[in-house]
Chain A
Amino acid sequence: MGMAKIKSAPKVLAISSGGGHWIQLMRIRPAFAASDVVYATVADAYAADVEGCSFVTVPNGNIWSVWGLLRSALGVAWLMLKLRPDVVVTTGAAPGYFAVVFGRLIGARTLWLDSMANAEGLSMSGRRAQRFADLCLTQWRHLSGDGGPDFRGAVF
């Protein structure tokens, strides 16, 4: 109605845990061109990989520790409320799962890219995230289709 809204760059939260998940997130960086991206992972040392970009850390968590998971969930929830991203993109694992769940709650569009490490089925966090993610991608063609994840290529 009336005034045309000036379209601004979408605010993107690109989030993952460390190690291979982060390395895979770094490999999809060209996807964040022309967006206002904030990178989030679990250790300060990774900041050097995204010098000049917004970077935050959240507590890591994994299935072995309930307290770890809870801390991670709270950290991610707080980040989501503060940041209010338009889009969440994650390569897993636990922090990414929480970002997809809370992202959905605040109305962000959410994308789960399952790690290439899962060649015979979605990861456990991926299977759970699938219900909440607007787009769920696998990096293995043979895992795609039939209500499962989509395949749109791999990180290498």
Chain B
Amino acid sequence: MIFVTVGSDTPFDRLIKTIDRWAFQYGRRDVFAQIGRHAWKPQFISFSEMLAPAEFECHVRAAHVVVGHAGMGTILTALQHMRPVLVMPRRGGLSETRNDHQLDTAKRLSGIDGIDVAIDEEILFQKLCGIDEATEVCAISNHAEERLTTCIREFIHKEKNA
């Protein structure tokens, strides 16, 4: 299975349209997409507007690869479940989000084991054609870096007037 997600905020039709076109062209029936509320409806893949967190996790587990927007929730959930993730950043200029922060994040994170970035639809389409070769990745820890949680714990337990 290929699980596609646009995250919990707003639709990302540019992503879904590309995947729908690819699924049609290659006769793929193993794609399921979470497309967001009031989104453009794909014709050749099955989909749901929104998923509860537990359902979302089930779909990630059932998939061999996750394709999504470059949101941290998508990336972290995929990697926590050892699934490789292919992301296309939302663009501020196209009103897909407020600014180009997803582009920045995607650039910084690409190259990390399991994270692949498609900068636009054309590259996404190409990368989809090689997606069956994606293999399981090493699971990341379920928790943040220890130095971060330690810093926050110390902040919490600091004496009020210290």
Contacts and interface: CB of A to CB of B under 8 A. Distances in A.
Interface of A: 10, 12, 18-24, 27-35, 45-46, 48-49, 63, 86-87, 89, 109, 111, 113, 115-120, 123-124, 134-135, 137, 139-140, 152-156
Interface of B: 7-9, 52-54, 71-74, 76-77, 79, 98, 101-102, 104-105, 107-108, 140-153, 155-158, 160
Contacts of A155: 72, 76, 144-145, 148
The listed residue with most B CB atoms (<10 A of its CB), out of A30, A86, A124, is A30
Contact of B145 (A18, A19, A23, A153): A153
Minimum-distance CB pairs A-B, first 4? A153-B148, A20-B73, A20-B72, A31-B152
Given A27-B144, A123-B101, A20 B74 contact: yes
The listed residue with most B CB atoms (<10 A of its CB), out of A35, A49, A117, is A117
Contacts of B77: 23
Given A119-B107, A137-B151, A156-B79, 12 more contacts: A19-B7, A19-B8, A28-B148, A28-B149, A87-B156, A109-B160, A119-B101, A135-B155, A137-B148, A153-B144, A155-B148, A156-B76
Contacts of B53: 45-46, 48-49
A119 B105 contact: yes
B72 A153 contact: no
A152 B148 contact: yes
The listed residue with most A CB atoms (<10 A of its CB), out of B54, B104, B152, is B152
B140 A156 contact: yes
20 contacts: A19-B7, A20-B72, A23-B73, A23-B77, A24-B72, A27-B142, A27-B143, A31-B156, A48-B53, A111-B155, A118-B104, A119-B104, A119-B108, A120-B104, A140-B108, A152-B151, A153-B147, A154-B145, A155-B144, A156-B76
A32 to B, nearest CB: 7
Contacts of A10: 156-157
Contact of B149 (A31, A116, A124, A134): A31
Given A18-B8, A30-B143, A109 B76 contact: no
Contacts of A140: 108
Given A30-B149, A35-B156, A153-B151, A19 B73 contact: yes
Nearest to A35: B156
Nearest to B10: A64
A33 B154 CA distance: 11
A120 B101 contact: yes
Contacts of B71: 19-20, 117
Contacts of A115: 72
A140 B32 CA distance: 33
